[in-house]
Structure 1
Amino acid sequence: MKRKNIISLFLLSAGCMLPLCASAQHVYSLDECIEAALDNNVRMKNAQNNLRMVEHSKQEAFSKYFPTVSAMGSGFLADKSLVRMGLSPEMQMAFMKNGLVGDVSATLPLFTGGQIVNGNKLAKVNVEVNRLQQRQSQNEVTLTVENYFWQVVILKEKLQTISTLDKQLTQLLQDVETSVQAGVTTRNDLLQVQLRQNEIQSKRIQAENMLSLSRSMLAQYIGHPADSIEVAATLKDTLPQGPEGLYTPPEAALATTNEYNLLQQNVKASSLQHKMAIGKNLPTIAIGGGYAYENLLGKDHTFWLGFATVSVPISGWWGGSHDIQRQKLQLRNAENQLADQSQLLVIRMKHTWDDLNDAYKQVKIALLSIEQAKENLRLNTDYYAAGTCTMSDLLDAQSLYQQSRDKYVEIYAQYEVKKREYLQVTGR
């Protein structure tokens, strides 16, 4: 048998991957995985609960605008009258041995130093902060799903490559065994093929274990049983669309980012807390009225009453002035942080854009490496057929081709993740 026939199978399926066995699992696209995670992930559920809690706090703060209504009632029973009067040595008068007292009153604050107004504004700020934090959680969950998804794709592609190479090696082993029996090829070539088969089987076991783990992690993260999902993604040896259409100027994108808006809300909250600290040290004015009942002298007595109160925190000014200064400094810190973090956000956008372009260039290089590795394998096949290279050289060429394909799928997945990171960092 000619050596050309022995190794012809190496190039027969170069660049073609055999699909893994189909299963009954539901096949999810990346968008479906993201949608399922946003619906089922614990982090998203907790973020939604946090938003509902601050919305209830906002409603609670709004209730401070309304009058405070209270009711009180009490009674007593004594073994002796509480009040005794001597009208004369022979005549004594006693009363209030038992009695009842009750009232219903309402108090409406007219002026509280702006504490109620600013408290409601602060509650609205807290709602907006939690909305922004919920969007941040959305972004982080989405990015995590994308990483898990592409990790599964990478491992599936590697297993497809391993399956193709293993099939080639199985056929090659049969051909080499025939050649050894015919005395055309040395037994050393046979041993090298067997060793490469062992290496491929070891890599298959590792990849299958990692795939099982990665699929389970993805399923758990999107809220599905571990064995219920499969991912739908097939990579082709083609250059993906470039990142040019995704670019946006960092300064223009700054105002749309969650991070920047959170910094702005922090400044608003600090300003309101400063105003509330001032309000705590201002007089408060309230009016009220009520309906009262008493029976202390054995006779029912009801009446209406109205009142007004003015409270001035005289002694509180000493400690309150320090609280005001503390809140003022806190406001300055928030303003400083807004200016500083805004600059860092712009730098981060530029850096992420550079990373995205670098990843795209790496994809180009990886595709070129596949073509070069394929050509190297073809040449070594011809050389081996002509007897000018060894089986070791041919197997090394095969290994380089496998490495180039593995590198390509890893870099392609990295490029897809970098696109998601850039869109998120620019507020999209």
Structure 2
Amino acid sequence: MKKLSIVAILLFFGATSIAQTLTLNACKELALENNKRLKESQLKLEASGKVRKNAFTKYFPTVSASAFAFKSSKNFLDIKTDAMDLPVYDGNPAHLETATQFAYVPPINIQTLDYANTAMVTAVQPLYAGGRIRTGNKLAEVNEDVTQYQYNLTKSEILVTTEDYYWNLVALNEKTITLRNYEKLLKELLKEVGDFYDAGLVKKSDLLKVQLELNKVEGNKLKLNNGIDILKMTFSQHLGIPYTENFNVIDSITTILPPQNYYTETDLALKNREEYKMLNKAVETEELQKKMTNGELLPQLAVGVGGMYLDMIDQDNTYGLVFATLSIPISDWWGGTYKKQEHEIKMEIAKNSLKQNSELLQLQMSKAYRDLTESYKQIDIAQTSVSQAVEHQKEMENNYDAGLTSLSDLLEARAIAQEAKDALIDAKAKYKINIANYLKSIGEKR
């Protein structure tokens, strides 16, 4: 990581004269470190992890605290009684009606309960919730798995795009070399024809033909350099680094392994595809959603403990509580039946999507391998064309030196050889890119 940071710093100060060249692996590391899409996927993955951890807390008691206080403008208890005489009770109920002695009770006026302060803490532990807590945790785990697959898919796409930019830049660099060599040959020929012209051995039109071909090369150099600059700008943005003209890649397209080195059976490769894993998780999600609906229709049982403090009527007390709750969703059974049927239909849709898209994924793998084999054969064809074009060029050069062919034929032969070399470079770059695309199609992580 320190080495990568040093590279990034050097690229940032790209105005220096040191050429900044990166390997393919260094480009991949920069792309993964700085790509904004991948950072967004990483944040989503972290968020899904928090959702899973939150779901796990549902296994534990729910603790809550509450407090309540009031002060009233009037007393809630306002009791008034008149004065009265109460018979004295001697223990015999029969004497109450004929009592001769009475006790005087003065009038009573009670005014109280104009305030109250109370606080309560409770802890409730669900004993049975229809399996919804367990199902909810599984749903959170599935969501995290899907987010991980999406992250992996984004990462794979970024790496393939990195290889695409990388090998195209390598190809343009190699075309620059072949064009420079072609230009060198033309300049040597221009000097030779110029000497012949000065000696009166050739016509001026021959000299002009070489000069026109050199002008064409200058135009091609301009287009090629502009293409390289634009590609470097785009590549730098993809890597998340400042653009500098000193930025370049280090490889050349030399190692070419046959397609058989990368081949994997589609049935085996299918299980490695992130899309296939997500399709399976979609089926699992619908199954869990159905279980969640079933749980909503089942009784819910919980027990709890609590403590309460009560300050009222100039007295304060604390109380301990133990309680249990049982909830039966009777009225939900009717609508819940249709909801269960809805999830059964969605399960069938998810299973059908899994089957259909699995076939499409396998077709995609087959096509990617066909593209790979085709591009490999194109390299053979291009190499044969280069050999034939170079041989034709040498023959034309020998014939020209012997005075057996015209200058136009020589220029044409060299132009054909130049085009053949460029075609070979394009074929090799395309093959490298197709390797990356095929490995992505079979779910191989690079």
Return the TM-score normalized by structure 2.
0.86
Conserved in 1, the CA contact under 8 Å of 2:253 and 2:429? no
1:157 is matched with: 174
Q: Distance in 1 between matches of 2:398 and 2:54?
A: 82
1:195 maps to 212
TM-aligned CA deviation for residue 25 of structure 1: 2.5
- Structure (1 or 2) with the larger CA radius of gyration: 2
Q: Residue 166 of structure 2 contacts residue 249 of structure 2 at CA under 8 Å; is this kept in 1?
A: yes
Aligned to 1:319, which of 319, 328, 335? 335
1:114 aligns to 2:131 (yes or no): yes
Summarize the alignment of residues 11-410 of structure 1 with structure 2, pairs less than 5 Å apart. Answer: 24-88=18-82, 90-227=107-244, 229-236=247-254, 240-410=256-426
Distance in 2, Cα, partners of 1:400 & 1:23: 37
Amino acid at match of 1:50: K
Post-superposition shift, 1:234? 2.0
What's the CA shift string for 1:370-393, capped at 9, x where partnerless? 111111212222333344433222
Whether the 8 Å contact between 2:272 and 2:443 is mirrored in structure 1 is yes
In the alignment, residue 282 of structure 2 is paired with which amino acid?
N
Q: Deviations over 1:102-133 (max 9, x none)?
A: 10111111111111100001111112112222
Residues 30-76 of structure 1 show CA distances to partners (whole Å, capped at 9, x for unaligned) of 12211222222222222222111111110000000111111111111
Aligned pair 1:414/2:408, yes or no? no
- Displacement of 1:88 in angstroms is 2.9
**Aligned in 2, Cα 1:23/1:192: closer, same or farther, shift over 3 Å?**
farther
**Alignment partners' CA distance in 2, 1:323 and 1:83:** 52
**Which residue identity is paired with 2:311?**
N
Q: Which string of whole-angstrom CA distances, capped at 9 and with x for unpartnered residues, describes residues 224-277 of structure 1?
A: 2222632111235xx822122222221122222222222111111111111112
Q: For 2:271, what is the secondary structure of its paired residue? A: helix
The two structures, once aligned, show a CA RMSD in angstroms of 1.9
In the alignment, the residues of structure 2 paired with residue 319 and residue 24 of structure 1 have an alpha-carbon distance, to the nearest angstrom, of 73
Shift of 1:174: 2.3
Q: CA deviation at 1:279?
A: 1.4
Measured after TM superposition, the shift of residue 326 of structure 1 is: 1.7
Q: Determine the C-alpha separation between the residues in 2 that align with 1:318 and 1:392.
A: 91
Q: Distance in 1 between matches of 2:350 and 2:334?
A: 25
Report SS of the residue matched to 1:256: coil
Contact in 2 for aligned 1:250/1:350 (Cα 8 Å):
yes
Percent identity over paired residues: 34
Segments of 4+ in structure 1 off by > 4 A? none
Give the match's secondary structure for 1:224. coil
CA distance in 2, matches of 1:234, 1:251: 35
Which whole-Å deviations, capped at 9, do the CAs of 1:293-332 have from their partners, x for residues lacking one?
A: 1122221021011221122223333333332222221111
Quick check: 220-229 or 410-419, which moved more? 220-229
For residue 315 of structure 2, give the secondary structure of its aligned residue in structure 1.
Answer: coil
Structure 1: 5+ residue stretches without partners: 1-21
Provide structure 2 residue ranges, at least 5 long, that are not aligned to the other structure: 1-15, 84-106
Cα distance in 2 for residues equivalent to 1:82 and 1:381 = 120
Which amino acid in 2 is paired with 1:190?
Answer: L
User: Partner amino acid for 2:396?
Assistant: N
Q: For residue 12 of structure 1, what is the aligned residue in structure 2? A: none
| Aligned-partner residue type, residue 45 of structure 2 | L
User: Could you list the per-position Cα deviations for residues 6-28 of structure 1 after superposition, in whole angstroms to 9, with x for gaps in the alignment?
Assistant: xxxxxxxxxxxxxxxx9612321
Separation of aligned partners in 1, 2:291 and 2:277: 21
SS at match of 2:240: coil
Q: Which amino acid aligns with 1:79?
A: S
Of residues 227-236 and 158-167 in structure 1, the stretch that sits farther from structure 2 once superposed is 227-236
Q: Quick check: 2:392–2:413 contact (8 Å CA) kept in 1?
A: yes
Distance in 1, matches of 2:264 and 2:346, equals 34
> 1:99 touches 1:298 (CA, 8 Å); kept in 2?
no
SS in 2 for 1:84: strand
Q: 1:75 to 1:343 in 2, by over 3 A?
A: same
